[in-house]
Structure 1
Amino acid sequence: MICGCHVPGQLLAVGKLEHKIIIESELNIPCLYDDTVMEVIWGVKKSHEEFIA
């Protein structure tokens, strides 16, 4: 599923370091995991009901 949506040269933002390690090693897809990504994920989680409604 991830491989079908991934565009070469694109980074995949992930919310856990473990996910980054597994995806990069198993799927060879470069990932981004840092404070900025964590803030974006926090914001989405905090207001996800507004996005869905």
Structure 2
Amino acid sequence: MLRWALIFFIVAIIAAVFGFGGIAAGAASIAKILFYIFLVLFAISLLTGLLRK
């Protein structure tokens, strides 16, 4: 999931460099959403791992 967030972030940077503002904003927002989902899943797995020990 973090890989997809990084891919969308790179697409947003490339689109911004070439002047595609709408595509850059869309890709950046998707990257942000995926990153937050990754953080939530990471926190859940961390807590689950700590509770099992």
TM-score range, shorter chain: 0.3 to 0.5
Which structure dedicates a bigger proportion of its chain to strand? 1
Q: Larger Cα Rg: Structure 1 or Structure 2?
A: 2
Q: Taking CA–CA contacts closer than 8 Å with sequence separation of 6 or more, which of the two structures ends up with the larger relative contact order?
A: 2
Q: TM-score, normalised by structure 2?
A: 0.33
Q: TM-score, normalised by structure 1?
A: 0.33
Which structure dedicates a bigger proportion of its chain to helix? 2
